[in-house]
Structure 1
């Protein structure tokens, strides 16, 4: 038995025990109003399954007709988030996260993000929230060698990053819980594709305001729910990322909230944060949806030899389409990043001195 097959076999009993109780318990009650503005004028924007790991469950994204905020409804409970996060970023299928986020976390993009904030100040101390394994601080340190970079995350990757020298201090937990202890400690913070995972993005922004020194700067990157790729690709748009993404915040809403909390927005950019992966990822998600089931621990049946062989053959058959999609993403990137097809945006905001 291969190491992967052995790991699957070891995890299967625990997964099947959880799933025997059903997946409805992983969802909170459906809310009738928008968590951003309170309006009850909602419409269903998307219904989908887990296209990433193919774990059981169905997920709905509603959109507010009043403020355009989109959100998972019903939202996953903390227990549900634990279930669907398991074996994705760490563990059995951590390589999948690396394939999806490889372009987003490239050294070139990390350095560009660092320079974007450095135009406004040279920070003494910088906290990277949702740092994962500390890739961004390791690259940013090369751009700002005299800045102390710390990391914050709920996973054990942040502690590994400290042991390997990518961050100086590791804060394990949630920003909203740790903010009182870190109050006024940093003059720069970054949240790269973090707020969309948060249970309450507003509380995260308030916590960041508490952690920042007066005059400090906060840099945020988010998937852009107004990207035309979202409409073109539907559920195959990778930035929907169900069931992990809980909120989709339009740029105008984020800017207004930052102003209300005591920030001044000093820079907005849709061009540089664009990641050229929409067509490639859509092709992969579509192919993965129709392939024979893989040997995953949350499946009750182990694939037969024929099913394994067929899956491998179809993966090879889909390679030309994947290569073509990747080429199209790269070829179109200079144009796409300058249009409303751009899939992400960046905001840099200064905490008001008062």
Structure 2
């Protein structure tokens, strides 16, 4: 398909979806939010402060979002939190539908695959070379790119993926995983009891309304002495303070809970795990400055077409958008170069934007 034909097809899809989105938005977005909390969902303290107030910087869907920080335990959480209906609205067409092609191009990029390989290799010291894992469940697998790469590192292991989106079924069809589990991990866990040697959760917990319930589900799905590997954004990263609302890992409105490492370690121990290692340096992804520049520039760049906007952009706006994208590309590339240059230092002085935990089911 030519690029012109592809654009025409996308425009048709957007036009078909616009009435549905406009119907959803007719009464505003207030109904997508639960009542505001006055206490921390992690420790129940009422010592809260507003940390970030922002908008949807990725899809530019309407709405305003707040992240509060608990002064007692350091937990960060979306407040008020989206309801199930709200999550459905804001996730729609992000990873599937209109957003499927973009999502796959990002998750399947060579840099992403290289990182998946490094993560898979980091798990080898926690497995026996004489008895490799038999079954491995990747929770929040998306399109299954991590299991595909991990299968090269662990060729004798059967990989399965769990997700709520349609990407997990695409992963089976395209041979990246052996079996697709589509639905809620907490709902499916009783039927998976003791089935897996390894469970991985990479940038998944922060998307869930109750991370502790996810840890209990992982404990249930793992065999005795099974390994759980978690990677999540670090709300205590120095970049979070420096970049404010423009810091990518805040990722509103999708990130509902962001726990400091000490909180997650304690929760794992309470669920019946023993934390055997914590890693920050290897978890860092050098994109903070680059994405912050992109977000800032998006404020002055005419928007693209999307069904949640009431009408398509004018011809002048489309031309202006393309001109702005070309004019600002050098700034984005320069910021990315700076990310790469600073990355070795960032990993050592508290700027790492994520952390990993390795835990055994005891």
TM-score (norm 1): 0.96
Any idea what the Cα deviations from partners look like across 1:185-243, whole Å, max 9, x if unmatched? 00110000000001100000001000001100100000010111111111110100000
> 1:42 and 1:218, CA in 2 relative to 1: closer, same or farther beyond 3 A?
same
Structure 2 stretches lacking a partner, 5+ long: 1-6
Match of 1:146 among 129, 138, 156: 156
| Conservation of the 8 A alpha-carbon contact between 1:189 and 1:217 | yes
| Match status 1:33 vs 2:39 | yes
CA distance in 1, matches of 2:20, 2:277: 47
CA displacement at 1:294 relative to structure 2: 1.6
Any idea what the Cα deviations from partners look like across 1:298-317, whole Å, max 9, x if unmatched? 11132111111111111111
Query: What are the equivalent positions in structure 2 for 1:81-100 lying under 5 Å apart?
Result: 81-98=87-104
Matched with 1:74 is 80
Matched with 1:110 is 116
Residues paired across the two proteins, number = 352
| Conservation of the 8 A alpha-carbon contact between 1:105 and 1:136 | no
3-state SS of the aligned residue for 1:92? helix
| Conservation of the 8 A alpha-carbon contact between 2:108 and 2:145 | no
Structure 1 segments of 4+ aligned residues over 4 angstroms from their partners: 98-105
Match of 1:137 among 147, 150, 160: 147
CA displacement at 1:55 relative to structure 2: 0.6
Match of 1:20 among 26, 31, 34: 26
| Conservation of the 8 A alpha-carbon contact between 1:196 and 1:248 | yes
Matched with 2:8 is 2
| Match status 1:163 vs 2:173 | yes
CA distance in 2, matches of 1:107, 1:310: 34
3-state SS of the aligned residue for 1:155? coil
Match of 1:260 among 270, 276, 284: 270
Any idea what the Cα deviations from partners look like across 1:252-275, whole Å, max 9, x if unmatched? 000111111111111111011111
> 1:104 and 1:339, CA in 2 relative to 1: closer, same or farther beyond 3 A?
farther
Query: What are the equivalent positions in structure 2 for 1:57-68 lying under 5 Å apart?
Result: 57-68=63-74
> 1:278 and 1:191, CA in 2 relative to 1: closer, same or farther beyond 3 A?
same
3-state SS of the aligned residue for 2:282? coil
CA distance in 2, matches of 1:104, 1:77: 35
TM-score (norm 2): 0.94
CA distance in 2, matches of 1:333, 1:94: 30
| Match status 1:250 vs 2:260 | yes
Query: What are the equivalent positions in structure 2 for 1:162-201 lying under 5 Å apart?
Result: 162-201=172-211
Structure 1 stretches lacking a partner, 5+ long: none
RMSD (CA atoms): 1.5
CA displacement at 1:117 relative to structure 2: 1.9
